[in-house]
Structure 1
């Protein structure tokens, strides 16, 4: 079974437990904390994924890092995953939980990449456009890439609108290339 399907099952179980205990938002914050910690500390995920490190040691690492910082429901999933020898997919479970949470709360993440920082009017225009298309509340992430020359690239889920000057120039170059 693939990592993503296993992670999805654990994440679904976790969100159901969090709903039952009325701590969905707290567990969401905990999953963000875990994901952030894992991304900033490569050694953590290497240790959790290592077959050489014993499971008791991995649980000790998780306990030292998170037992005082996360809700007991979140810490319980860490314990269960460790006992099931699936510590290496904890980051995938956290990612999947965040995705399920966003869907549960009606939040659509969108990324806008532009050549210059967005003005408030443009930010609102992009948010409104995505909200109208998806019917969800929009969480807009902004990135600046000066290689675009002008225009923007809007990514919503697995869809992308590339209205950058760089892509237009590449299209023209391919059109006129011998």
Structure 2
């Protein structure tokens, strides 16, 4: 099973199991705190990723590091990941929790790659078109990729719209090669 697939399954379970006495926003903020800690510390990341370190040792470390910083629910989630030997994917799982939470709120995060920087007017026009197409509120992350030559590539969830000149040239080349 791919990392994204099981990360999504864990993320759904984490969101669905948030206790009634806990605020989902608080749990999300605490998971982001854990994510920031793991991303900021190379040693902690390597510790979680190491298959050599015993599960008991990792569980004790989780308790020592996070018990005073986050809610018992988040600690129990981290301990479950350690117990199920999924601690090496903690960043992917937390990322999926954030993506799913936003999706449940009707927000779709997209990635837009273009050959040149888009100005504010172009961005607004693109966002309006994507919101009309998807029926959801769009939050876009922009990247400049000069290799595209021109045009855009938009990634919305599992869907990719490739309107780049690079893609059009590749399709044209493929048609010449196959003789169609």
TM-score normalised by the shorter chain: which range applies? 0.7 to 0.9
Structure 2: state its 5+ residue gaps.
none
CA contact (8 A) 2:114 2:152 kept: yes
Scaled by the length of structure 2, what TM-score is found? 0.79
Aligned to 1:113: 113
1-side partners of 2:48 and 2:113: how far apart?
34
Give, in whole Å, the separation in 1 of the partners of 2:2 and 2:162: 31
In structure 2, relative to structure 1, the CA distance for the partners of 1:143 and 1:19 (3 Å cut) is farther
Contact 1:112 1:152 in 2 (8 A): yes
Residue 166 of structure 2: SS of its match in structure 1?
A: helix
> How much has 1:54 moved relative to structure 2?
1.8
Kept in 1, the 8 Å contact 2:110–2:139? The answer is yes
Contact 1:153 1:160 in 2 (8 A): yes
> Normalising by the residue count of structure 1, what TM-score does the alignment of the two structures yield?
0.80
| Structure 1 counterpart SS, 2:163 | strand
Structure 1 residues 44 and 168, CA gap change in structure 2 (3 angstroms): same
Q: Deviations over 1:75-132 (max 9, x none)?
A: 2211233344442342343233223212221110111001111111111112112211
Distance 2:169 2:7 in 1: 41
